[in-house]
Amino acid sequence: MYEVELKVRADHGPVRDRLDALGARHVGAVVQTDTYYDAPHREFAETDEALRIRQEVPADGDQQAYLTYKGPLVDEQSKTREEAETAVADGAAAADILAGLGFEPAATVRKERDQYAIGEQTVTLDAVEGLGEFVEVETEVESADEVDPAREEATELLGRLGLDPADGIRTSYLGLLLAGGSGNSHE
């Protein structure tokens, strides 16, 4: 599976207004804590991969945990990556398993997310601790042949939200935090 994603820095107020005007459906709000891991057998920073455990607390308070692998970026225009994710019953136990295999925590990213649905696209308003506010437009597709059309749809939706796709940031939140919070459209 591929996660096709475009991300820009943006003030959430005007975007919420546009989402309402477009008839977007509010999906929910969550607080996420992502712990990223270094591998004992290769440098993820060099291979452009990521392994994380996400602890997620939705508004209903039922904490959930996910183990996620993200492959290298697959194009020059977006944050599209192959991704594999699965729910885990116990995030702490998953962390213990990774530690037992030699994986070490590298960094933690905390964010508040507010998600909306428009057609097949998900629009996420992220408030990232230490970085500020961002808007992501994303969808998941099964094959590489579907990536370009999905990216074009995401680009079009960013425009409808009053955001400039040319301001896109390809750097992950982890990368932005590690770089001291900077990020431009060509990272």
Residues with a known catalytic role: 36
Under the phi-then-psi rule, with left for phi > 0, alpha for psi from -120 to 50, and beta for the rest, what region is 176? alpha
Helices and strands (H and E) in the chain: how many:
5, 8
CA angle (83, 92, 100) in 5-degree steps: 80
Going by C-alpha positions, the residue among 22, 37, 27, 1 that lies closest to residue 146 is 1
Q: What's the token pair of residue 3?
A: 């996660």
Residue 2's H or E segment, with its range, is strand 2-9
Separation CA 51–CA 36 (nearest Å)? 6
